[in-house]
Structure 1
Amino acid sequence: MATIDDGVIANPRARYTRRLRTPGNSELWAWIFMRASGVLLIVLIFGHLFVNLLVGDGVGAIDFAFVGGKWASPFWQVWDLLMLWLAMIHGTNGVRTIINDYAERDVTRVVLKSLLYLAFVVTVVLGTLVIFTFDPCPTGAAAHLLPSFCTA
């Protein structure tokens, strides 16, 4: 097929051939996921902002003890975990689409998507570990360094 680089414009009535073959309807499901996760993320993020900034003393009250008290509840752990996972999957899927659209060489596309997936895995694993292993009252810590709700 002739391209513009050859000095010839391709036939506009020619059958379109896809550059990337994706099995089944994976791109359709990715598109649907982006819409659904976007709506859910709006609820999660505005709920997060409302609780952290408007309820209580506002932004001035956010400190180590606030986060420790919040993550003592399984509800807020799951809330923040959902927000982390959905935001990371949503963003990774969006960047994957941009890479597929703009990376012209296959090697470039593979390298960029590999780096993207590596960054996704590292961020999600570390974020999940922080949410579920966070201990605001570590044993053996100096009493003056602990939040007020910890017993020394």
Structure 2
Amino acid sequence: MSAIIESPRQPQQRASKGRVNWEKYGWIYMRASGVLLIILIFGHLFVNLVQGDGIKAIDFAFVAGKYATPFWQIWDVLMLWLAMIHGSNGMRTIVNDYASNPTIRRILLGALFVAAVVLIVLGTLVVFTFDPCSTLIPADQALSFCPVP
């Protein structure tokens, strides 16, 4: 079995007019989201580990205090969305490169899509519905600012 490799000087076949070049936009997204993720992650690490008492200060009350402000909710959700889509797009590229059977490729891509959507939705729900004063927390473990029932 032999493969024919075209000359590297051959012009690439252009997509027909009206079609979207998803690979190009995926490539651009990976670069842009990578830069934004570096900023978001180092900002996250700086606030959580460098400011204050470091890792000893991170507990339930610390997270409750952060999620009491919309700024940190949006920061963390943006980091979640960018990281999950960035990672899923990278995995999609790996699946497309190494899964030669079309049926297996479709199954893997479908599972990857479902996993990414489920994790993004659950993570977003956790951030925006976080309630540090839940009635499920025992009264002796409630935070100082929570009303005791």
> Shorter-chain-normalised TM-score: which range?
0.7 to 0.9
Match of 2:65 in 1: 69
Choose which of 4, 13, 30 in structure 2 pairs with 1:10. 4
Count of matched residue positions in the alignment of Structure 1 and Structure 2: 142
Q: TM-score, normalised by structure 1?
A: 0.85
Match of 2:126 in 1: 130
From the superposition, tell whether residues 145 and 26 of structure 1 become closer, same or farther in structure 2 (CA, over 3 Å): same
Equivalent residues of 1:96, 1:113 under 8 A apart: yes
List gaps (5 residues or longer) in structure 1.
Answer: 1-5
List gaps (5 residues or longer) in structure 2.
Answer: 14-18
Distance 2:112 2:121 in 1: 14
Match of 1:97 in 2: 93
1:65 alignment partner AA: A
Q: TM-score, normalised by structure 2?
A: 0.87
Distance 1:12 1:53 in 2: 53
Distance 1:11 1:134 in 2: 55
Report the alpha carbon displacement of residue 44 of structure 1 after superposing the two structures with TM: 0.3
Choose which of 16, 20, 27 in structure 1 pairs with 2:23. 27
Identity of aligned residues (%): 59
Runs of 4 or more above 6 Å deviation: 14-18
The answer to whether residue 59 in structure 2 is matched with residue 43 in structure 1 is no
Report the alpha carbon displacement of residue 144 of structure 1 after superposing the two structures with TM: 1.1
From the superposition, tell whether residues 54 and 25 of structure 1 become closer, same or farther in structure 2 (CA, over 3 Å): same
